Every structure is written in C-alpha cells, then in structure tokens.
Structure 1
C-alpha cells in the first residue's frame, strides 16, 4: 500500500493498494480506517463503488476505483491505520490485505522574514529573523543565501525558540510557532544583491519565503559616508587610498569641474554665491547659515549662503556636485572672512 508521507490537513490524499491477483479474476476491494469500512468496489454490483460515509474521511468517488481511493481535504481525524482488502472471484474468493499508517500534519503559515535595513555594506552583519506560525508538529527552520542552503545546525543560525499556540483553533492537536535568526556577515566577495530564504520544514514538506537585500560596493559606501557628513577615514593612508580610488572613477568629471577645499576654524565664515554649489564636510561639527540659525551638513546650496563653522572642520565646495575626491586638486575657497 502507498500512502502520503505525510498527509497534509486541508489537502486531498490518495491511497493506493498494490496487488496481484495471481491469475484469479478481481472481485472486490474494501478500504478500512481504524477497523471501520469507508469505501468498497464490488465488481458487477449496482453501483459498483460505494461510499460508506465514515465520519473521519470524505471520499472523492470520481477519483476512486479498484486500485486507489482519494480523500478530499483531509482533517486531523483522518490520521490512523488504513487497510485495503482485495478478494478474487469465485469459487475460491481468495482474500489478502495490507495495512499502512497515515500521519496528518499542518504546514505552517508562510514564514515571516524581517531585516532591519534593505541595504548593507561590506563588514556589516545582516540579521534575518524568521517566524513560522501555526504548525503541527513544530517546524524546523533553515535558511538559504542565493540558493545556497544553510542548515538549522549551522553556527550562523540561532534558534530563538518554539512556542505553543493558544487553543486548538488551527489544529485539534494544537499547533506551534518557531523562530530562528540567520547571522550573516557581509564579506568582500558577497554579490551586490542577496536573495535570502527561510525554509520551514515539517517532516518531508516545506514552506518558504524570500526577501532581497542590497550590498553596497566599497566605492558607493564612501560616497554615502561623505554625502551624509559622517566622520570617517581619519588616517592619512585611508584618505590617500580614498582619493586615488575616486580620482580614477571620476577622472572625466574632475577635468571639467572646479572645486575648492579648505579647513575652517571655529567661528570662521565662508560666503558662497548663488551657483548650485555642493558642500561636503569631513570630521565632526556642522556649518550654520548666519541670520537664520540653520545648519547644513552636506548637499546642494542653491542660494547665497553665508556659513559659519561651529568648530574646526574640513569642507569642500564643488560646482558640479562632485564627491569629495575633488579635494586632491583643490584651490582656495571663493571668499573667506574671519
């Protein structure tokens, strides 16, 4: 006999009885669940197929015959021992039977995946939390990264826990919710986009969900750091490396643009003209627009600005909205006052 391994609640299940009459003509087949008859086929009867209306199963008669029986949307009560009994024709009426157990499970809802951000940089760590709810038995959670499987036993997977759901609403036996976390460091060799999957396994069956996160390249990370006015690259060696990389990437733009670079002391003022300039800050602190009390830490200046530093601070201006790589070829700023 062949039965699903396992059967899934609210899904159909087909059971097959495998037999050979050994030369005798087939006469009948009978199916039993927990010792009670629920379907029979008797050759020559009218009707030949009979549904015996067992309380625990609903037979799909159109999809049942002399070798198989199909059950509609099985419930938890459909679990148990099944027996098929085959009988040959007269005069011997030889009879044989076989049994098999059917286990019924409930697959979890679609796993819920959560990350703190949609993009990461090399050197950072992605923490993916996955929760699979309302399953019987409790699901085992594993992960995948761009199709590469990361098993539940991996050191990168942390099992947060399994909790029992309240009541018996989802399954008569009860149900469980499992939560795990994938801890994934972003390495230099990581691709620019990571497709992360969470796989909830119940026996041999699984449900999966997927999300994608972007990995910023080293160069794009440098751009975003400077445009946000973030303090970084404090060492001379790092600054030289950054400058060379930016110059190679933006050689054409640098030859067409003009930029200024200087270092402001606290209280020193720079006056800009109305020319859509781009301002970049390095180090800490900010520049304040005089007479309005507004701070500016980076971005386009599309009006006449008079800016005053609140502490010693490096800054640069560029007419072409270029990133801070232009500092390598900088000239004094347009106007400086004390």
Structure 2
C-alpha cells in the first residue's frame, strides 16, 4: 500500500514520517516502487513499508447493578464492537485491581485473580460477561471493563460503574430519653439510634408529623462502626417540650425505611393525667359503695 501525504517542495532522498505509517517515507524517485503520479521529484512520496490498516473499537455499554445485598450473585456485562479488528483481551477491575481476564489466544482463555470480596465463577463467565457469586460488603467498588484489540493497533477502550453493597435489617431504630416527664418548653434530651446497617442510614426526626428542619434542635453524631464492619447512626433531638407531643425517628437508605414513634409527656400533662386517674378511682369507689 502506498501513501500520498501531499508533501511538496522536499528534496529527493529525504525522509519524512507520515501520520498513518509507522515506517518513514522515502521522498522522490524509488526504483523499487512504481511511481503513482507522473510528477517531478518532491511532489509525491511512498511508504517504505505498507501502511497498517487501522481498526477502531468501542464499548457499547456496561452493565453493573447499582445496588446489591450480601450473599447475592451478579453478572457483569461488557458489550463492545471491535469494528473489524481482532480481540486481544478483556479485563475486569474493581477499584483498579484486576480480578478477571479473557484472552482468546490462551488455553484456557479465562483466568481469575484473587481479590477480597470478589469470587468469579469461571464456568459462567466469558468474553462479554463475568459472573460473581456470594457477594459481601467488601464487594462494593468501582468496576471497570477494559478491552484491547490485537496487533498491529493494540487499541483499547474502557467503561466503568459503581456497585454498592448494602445491608438494611428489618429492625426499627431505638429512641431513648423520652421515658421521663419534661417541663413545658424544656429542651428534650432524646436520641435516636439505628440498627447496625451498611452504609450508615440517614436519620430524620418528625414532631407531630412535621419534619424537623431547625438545625439548632438537632445533634448529629458521627456514625460508629461495629465489629463486623456495619455502621450505626445516631441523631439527637433537643426541641422544646410541649403537651401532646409525638416524635418519630425514621432511618432510611435509598427506598428502604424503618421508623419508631413515641410520645413525650410534659409535667403539666403528667399532673393532669395523675389527677384524672385519682378522679376515676374516686368515682369507682363511690359507685361501688352506692351499689352495695
């Protein structure tokens, strides 16, 4: 194959690189090459070797689930188009660490690397998909598919997506500090603590059905880690106490939600309840004597 870069004004015998050729271009008359154009020296050029045919490649799409739970399995898919080229390798990475490769030139073509939280099932994996079984919390991360073409181009392309592994038990958050009566307008000393989860869930307070947005009423604590790597969230509430006060704490992760509702008793309300109980007892006693 001959290249015509359109370079003029160069002396015969000089050498020039062409962007489409890896070999230098010999300008001028070349007895080994039949001239393509009947023009004077310096008006055409030939490649000393044939120009390589350049094949492109591209990744059409990558399938990585956004959310999975421990113990589940997942199939990661990498769809690509070699556009006439030949596949050299497909490699998968989690957080820049390779865990699977497929190379059709090798026997066997598949190979899995040890990586904490990543267990590859080779029998269910191929050039376009990799099957991971028994996911754990350590399986979360950024997954990247990288494809490479065979020589002479060795072009490559990649695409990536993040997979989160979550654990959100069916346990409502706990509320402490509401057990004793409060004086009217006295700041509450109430905390809400989530169950062990991963990642740490978001907590919100509601008073009589209305979300608490006053930051001066909220006390945010840093999430704490358990021995198993799970996280616990805690959020305090310091709103002024008032009668007929129902507070709700909600723990959320994505579309999942757990909540608990308790009532706050103020001193005045407590006294009224106590007086009502005394009155009820008094009426019951009189009713008993009147009927006997």
TM-score between the two structures when normalised by the length of structure 1: 0.43
Q: Which has the higher strand share?
A: 1
